[in-house]
A and B are shown apart, each in its own frame.
Chain A
């Protein structure tokens, strides 16, 4: 079974631009979560989607948004990029049928904002 796939793996943007990151969950997983990882703040929860609906949202400004499609693939978008948005963005999927909260992570998209 293929794991969680995130694209692109690396990207460089400049301040003020926007970026879209993509995540394909493990086949059969219907829940997708996004996390931001930085050296200063560690792992911070962005949002969680299940069946195309946002179920949970972390404390990030409205510039951060996401969506989930009917095939469970998810995208997140960051508009008006700031230097502080440079981070590793991790997507995780979960088999919603289990109530253990296990998350299976992708390798991440490393965003650098110049």
Chain B
């Protein structure tokens, strides 16, 4: 089955860069996603990358994909206290349908210290 792994906790100081890592197992993944969840809220899509890309940058966010190692990372530049949240990595594995279900990791709790 599909398995998405990520470390559970990350602490950084305000202004530093944060790097959240994720590994996945299904080589037929089509899209990979990063979602953010703040306390008491649902999941907010931050960014996604198509599996034939190796990098995507969106303002302070940089996504790197190493398809050979099935490794995905999210780098947040100039991390702010407002970035404190749980970050989920997810993969989409479409199998002949327009939309596939998403497989989520357990989430990484990012804590940003002032």
Contact = CB atoms under 8 A, between A and B. Distances in A.
A101 B44 contact: no
A105 to B, nearest CB: 4
Q: Per DSSP, are chain A's interface residues mostly helix, strand or loop, or mixed?
A: strand
A100 B42 contact: no
A93 to B, nearest CB: 11
A55 B97 contact: yes
A33 B98 CA distance: 14
Contacts of B102: 33, 45, 101, 103
A107 interface: yes
Interface string B48-84: 1010000000000000000000000000000000000
Interface of A: 4, 31, 33, 35, 42-43, 45, 48, 50, 55-56, 58, 90, 92, 94, 96, 99-108
